Amino acid sequence: MNRDRNKIIRYTVSFILLGIALLLFLGWNICAGSVSVSLSDILKSVAGQEIEATAESILWEIRMPRALTAAILGGALALSGYLLQTFFHNPIASPFVLGISSGAKLVVALVMVFAFGHAAKVSSVILISAAFVGAMISMGFVLLISKKVEQMSMLVVSGVMIGYICSAVTDLVVTFAEDADIVNLHNWSKGSFSGVTWDNVAVIAVVVFFVSVMVFFMSKPMSAYQLGEAYASNMGINIRWLRSMLVILSSILSACVTAFAGPVSFVGIAVPHLVKQLMHTSKPILMIPGCFLGGSVCCLFCDLLARTMFAPTELSISTVTAFFGAPVVLFILLRRQKERN
């Protein structure tokens, strides 16, 4: 009884801490920058009161859309990583490591260059669709390779190689783009939450919300799947359907991130692991919302550092996430090796 009570307390405290951190970094992202906007000005503007014109423009046209995008896409990326880790039964599987983000980046870059060359406007839906096609193509190659190799380490290496190939082709495409478009394409290809509009935020929120709800309702079959395919099958779960849904939903989430922010590294690996350590559980019904909140906090924090650390120069988001995420991945690998020995 006491053990169950302690678990409930741990889960509750974990979600409260993640919620507080989310609100803290969301507010900090909106306030901080080359032009500071006070919290009182933010509250006045939200309440409909007038504030200084420059501050209001920065608040509503730049910082709020960017902060909300970082929060939503951060959660989507962490959730996508958790789905892939569940699918492959591997703690270092993620859209970035397996080359899925790179495949999505390649197709989006091709669509953007083609659109820029013909002076056409690319809608948010087209960007997500293009990224999804690229993600599914890369995932297809990963699945084919997974049937040929027995060791998961070889699968990860294969995914990294797929990522390098896609990134090389993307860099080639960006190099031969029109001069006026190279800057935007270059910033996007390195990973950045800048330049998003409220229309983009609306599309991102709708797509991520519906996919996240679908993932949450899959928590029970996912829990059985974690105990092995044979056990899940005996429980009456359609394994082929579940595996297909894990692939499709993780690809949609990854595609949404890549379409608007470019490739963001290590969040999909590090956050699920950190949330699991925080909560001391791997139950999907707790890990799914926990990963989403953790991913949001992680990306808000990293985007804050990317914007302000060397202001006015802005770092790519992947530079910052790699700095914090890579040590976590090394820790996971060393811990797994220690457990085997």
pLDDT reported for residue 179: 54
- pLDDT reading at 171 higher than 70: yes
pLDDT tens sequence across 102-143:
888 888 888 877 776 666 677 777 888 888 888 888 888 887
Task: Provide the whole-model pTM.
Answer: 0.88
- pLDDT reading at 183 higher than 70: no
For residue 79, give every residue at least 6 positions away whose Cβ sits within 8 Å of its Cβ, in sequence order, or none: 212, 215, 250, 253, 288, 291, 292, 295
Which domains are assigned to the chain?
2-340 (1.10.3470.10)
- pLDDT reading at 177 higher than 80: no
- pLDDT reading at 153 higher than 70: no
pLDDT reported for residue 186: 66
- pLDDT reading at 339 higher than 90: no
- pLDDT reading at 265 higher than 90: no
| 251's tokens | 């690809």
The letter for the amino acid at 261 is A
pLDDT reported for residue 62: 85
pLDDT tens sequence across 10-65:
899 999 999 999 999 998 888 887 777 777 877 777 777 777 777 788 888 888 99
Tell me which of 72 and 107 has the higher pLDDT.
Answer: 72
- pLDDT reading at 73 higher than 80: yes
| 269's tokens | 């690996």
For residue 163, give every residue at least 6 positions away whose Cβ sits within 8 Å of its Cβ, in sequence order, or none: 96, 97, 98, 99, 101, 102, 103, 138
Percent of the chain having pLDDT more than 70?
A: 91
The mean pLDDT of the chain is 83
The verdict on whether omega for the bond into residue 263 sits within 30 degrees of 0, i.e. cis, is: no
Q: What is the mean predicted confidence (pLDDT) over 149-175?
A: 77
